[in-house]
Chain A
């Protein structure tokens, strides 16, 4: 029974949310907004579970002096610093000039921006390995990637503008690939995703797919 009730809830709510799209009349027009608010509230409660889990595992690591336990101390201290600064700030915790804001600007932002930025290196190393003319498919990947890359930067201006060309061959080719064959592939993928989503949603609503609910204890 502990599995059946959730399945009933899923089915009823799922069908209601499909139907609401077709009913402009109140209260159905408010379903989506309401769900988005509710979801944020549930997520805000659930994050206590996650935070406790992170702290618990870190504390255990320190207690048992496991390898690299020193870094777990840093995790705990950073977490507490941010949390205290945030709670002390009250509702206006993000106001410029507060301790929370200082931590955000000088520590959080550079860390996340740099982690994002090292992608530049990985893009280079991944393309070096993947862009090889091994077979038809890999060659198409290579050629398309190569041409688009050429058209994106100043090669036209460097190579062709000095010849007095009005025409920008590399950008034109790049645009053509983006606008036509690329678009075709994107559309096939998108339509496929639409059907996959519809079918998965149906399996969930019908209760055929239920492994996310776990066992029947």
Chain B
């Protein structure tokens, strides 16, 4: 395909996707369903009504997707005190100040707010809150009209936005700094130092290398990380002229891995060494896949096994079988639950973040390595936040100082992600 034609095609393609998405409007959500409570309460004759709660703030929920109104009130003076103990509050809504009103929800005593998540955007609603004490009840005055709507920025997420931006910018900054030739120190990672040796060993023994990219599909970033490491490793394998066996459990992973391995062989100058059958599909089923991989292990006796990607319970079945045939095993995953098993049964394990760093390490490209320095800045932010936060809280808690405590709470809430 010609240059211009295909890029036009590509933009058209993206354009289609986004205009398509814009067409997909929300279907209106039908509102209001709780009505049984309302009729029950209206029929009652108040004998000894509690002092009513009064509406405080009734407003559209800010920074949300619409269809929701926030109602808050000032507690009834009888709530938790007085001779008329309040049992609950019932929130009523109508599209007209004169009614009919219907109950849209309730809140236990002591609570002062309610989210009415059943509104239709653009319609004006009126609210009041009823204070219930046993068989008696009293109403607040009716609110002014209020409409719900959707906003273009989720204001509650602004802290998260800023944290994300800071980390992204530091990663990008160091990528560019490294590209310009700034020298970076990187510590050694034992598992990666051993990769060449492990491939060399398979070559010497004349046995194949097994590569397992985990059992999730390309919609998991661990699989993507595993495949990018495969790209680096496959180049070395091509250079050594060793046999690669890569059974997979997802078809898209198969397609992707073939492209990657093929490119690695081309880059190593040995395109004739590549064959599609190096990467082959078995089954999507987790344990069917493991049964087959175990079979391959005991029959072909690979000298080296790589497990890099997202793993579940199959991790130990494979690693123990690999151990029993005496293979050198290098594993890496960001599944915290499986790390202990890889650590116990494999020779080297890339722990969590190290898996994501591996392809950058192996590539040796300055741009890639720069991003690792950016990650370290992220860690520094996290460490500083933890130290400062714990320090503030501890001092506040011991000295019992109100102002310090509120400072600590404010600081902590930056990381609440809501």
A interface list, Cβ under 8 A from B = 1-2, 4-5, 8-9, 12-13, 16, 18, 21-27, 29-31, 34, 39, 42-43, 46-51, 53-54, 57, 68, 108, 111-112, 115-116, 118-119, 122-123, 125-127, 129-131, 141, 186, 189-204, 206, 208-209, 211-215
Contact = CB atoms under 8 A, between A and B. Distances in A.
A209 B290 CA distance: 30
Given A46-B252, A49-B281, A196-B355, A112 B287 contact: yes
Given A203-B175, A212-B218, A215-B259, 13 more contacts: A21-B157, A29-B26, A31-B21, A47-B251, A50-B254, A119-B316, A126-B344, A190-B352, A196-B334, A197-B334, A208-B175, A209-B228, A215-B262
**5 tightest A-B contacts by CB?**
A214-B259, A196-B356, A211-B231, A50-B251, A192-B353
19 contacts: A8-B14, A9-B14, A21-B154, A29-B26, A46-B255, A53-B254, A57-B277, A115-B291, A122-B317, A126-B341, A192-B353, A193-B353, A196-B225, A197-B334, A203-B175, A208-B175, A211-B227, A211-B260, A212-B259
Nearest to B64: A24
A141 B373 CA distance: 30
A6 to B, nearest CB: 9
Contact of A212 (B224, B277, B368): B224
A211 B277 contact: no
Nearest to B337: A186
Given A191-B379, A193-B334, A195-B353, A12 B228 contact: no
A53 B63 CA distance: 49
B345 A25 contact: no
Contact of B150 (A13, A25, A54, A131): A25
A130 B375 contact: no
Given A189-B351, A196-B353, A215-B262, A46 B227 contact: no
Nearest to A55: B281
Interface in B37-79: 63-66
Chain A facing B: main interface SS: helix
Interface residues of B, number: 102
A111 B287 contact: yes
Given A9-B10, A9-B14, A42 B22 contact: no
A123 B34 CA distance: 53
B172 A23 contact: no
Contact of A54 (B258, B281, B365, B375): B281
Chain B interface, >50% SS class: helix
Given A31-B21, A47-B251, A49-B251, A209 B368 contact: yes
B229 to A, nearest CB: 9
Contacts of B218: 212
A24 B171 contact: no
Contacts of B25: 26-27
Nearest to A8: B10
A84 to B, nearest CB: 17
Interface string B160-171: 010010011001
Contact of B172 (A141, A197, A206): A206
B7 interface: yes
Contacts of B323: 126, 129
Contact of B260 (A29, A189, A214): A214
Contacts of A8: 10, 14
A81 to B, nearest CB: 14
Contacts of B168: 198, 202
Given A5-B6, A212-B256, A199 B1 contact: no
Contact of B357 (A1, A24, A39, A196): A196
Nearest to A127: B344
Contacts of A116: 287, 313
B371 A202 contact: yes
B250 interface: yes
Contacts of B382: 191, 195
Given A43-B252, A202-B172, A26 B26 contact: yes
B225 A200 contact: yes
B256 to A, nearest CB: 6
Contacts of B231: 211-212
A201 B371 CA distance: 11
B134 to A, nearest CB: 40
Contacts of B400: none
Nearest to A57: B280
A132 to B, nearest CB: 11
A199 B171 contact: yes
Nearest to B290: A115
A22 B157 contact: yes
B260 A111 contact: no
A209 B221 CA distance: 12
A5 B11 CA distance: 9
Contacts of B360: 203, 209
Contacts of A1: 1, 3, 6-7
Contacts of A122: 316-317, 320, 345
Contacts of B14: 8-9, 12-13
B282 interface: yes
Nearest to A123: B316
Given A126-B341, A193-B353, A214-B259, A27 B284 contact: no
A54 B283 contact: yes
B236 interface: no
Contact of A53 (B281, B339, B341): B281
Contacts of A18: 164
B152 interface: yes
A30 B21 CA distance: 8
